[in-house]
């Protein structure tokens, strides 16, 4: 199974994590969706975002078997030297290859591969662990969906925000 996950932090507190699963890495069809709410989350600390994000990811991935790949909203590594980001910690935690897809450029992540999709003029920034970076970028480029953000990542974003709308 191939998973895409995202976490949102509602104003009221806590975190809502969302997960979609597909049997194909390009996510042409989502076969399973899941959301969980985690009441208590660590406060945001610059450089330690993973401490806040990993517990909700653990909760939403609980019980998922035969995972071959995890795609997250964010960076795997934060600089060319390999300073770990959320994706690197997720790779170590869950023992599966991880692709990070970031919507905004992180200044020190000069190694991230920019990927343009659809008619977008702003790239996504792709990093990875357990997958060669060029292969990760190629996969993101060919994932289902005609917009800048692949459909699977759009869907987990919508679910994590608590909306039922399929935008």
| pLDDT tens per residue across span 45-58 | 776 778 889 999 99
Other CB atoms within 10 A of residue 119 CB: 8
The larger pLDDT score, comparing residue 166 to residue 162, is at 162
State the pLDDT confidence band at 163, using cuts at 50, 70 and 90. Answer: low
Residue 36, classed as helix, strand or coil, is: strand
pTM: 0.93
Q: For residue 139, what are the CA distances in angstroms to 19, 110, 115?
A: 19, 20, 10
Q: What is the mean pLDDT of residues 68-90?
A: 96
Map out the domains of the chain with their CATH numbers: 2-161 (3.30.2170.10)
| pLDDT tens per residue across span 14-34 | 999 999 999 999 999 999 999
Contact 52, 43 (CB under 8 A): yes
Contact 131, 69 (CB under 8 A): yes
Bridge partner residues of 18 (DSSP): 6, 35
pLDDT at 70 over 80: yes
Burial of 136 (0-12, 13-18, 19+ CB in 10 A): buried
Contact 151, 158 (CB under 8 A): no
């Amino acid at each position: 199974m191939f998973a895409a996950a995202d976490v949102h932090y509602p104003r009221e507190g806590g975190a809502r994590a969302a997960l979609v699963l597909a049997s194909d890495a390009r996510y042409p069809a989502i076969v399973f969706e899941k959301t969980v709410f985690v009441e208590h989350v660590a406060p945001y600390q610059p450089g330690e975002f993973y401490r806040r994000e990993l517990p909700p990811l653990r909760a939403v991935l609980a019980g998922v078997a035969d995972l071959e790949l995890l795609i997250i909203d964010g960076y795997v590594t934060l600089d060319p030297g390999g300073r770990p980001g959320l994706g690197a910690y997720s790779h170590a935690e869950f023992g599966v290859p991880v692709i990070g897809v970031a919507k905004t450029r992180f200044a020190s992540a000069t190694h991230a591969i920019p990927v343009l999709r659809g008619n977008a003029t702003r790239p996504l920034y792709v990093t990875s662990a357990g997958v060669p970076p060029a292969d990760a970028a190629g996969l993101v480029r060919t994932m289902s969906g005609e917009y800048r953000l692949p459909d699977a990542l759009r869907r987990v974003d919508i679910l994590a925000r608590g909306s039922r709308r399929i935008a």
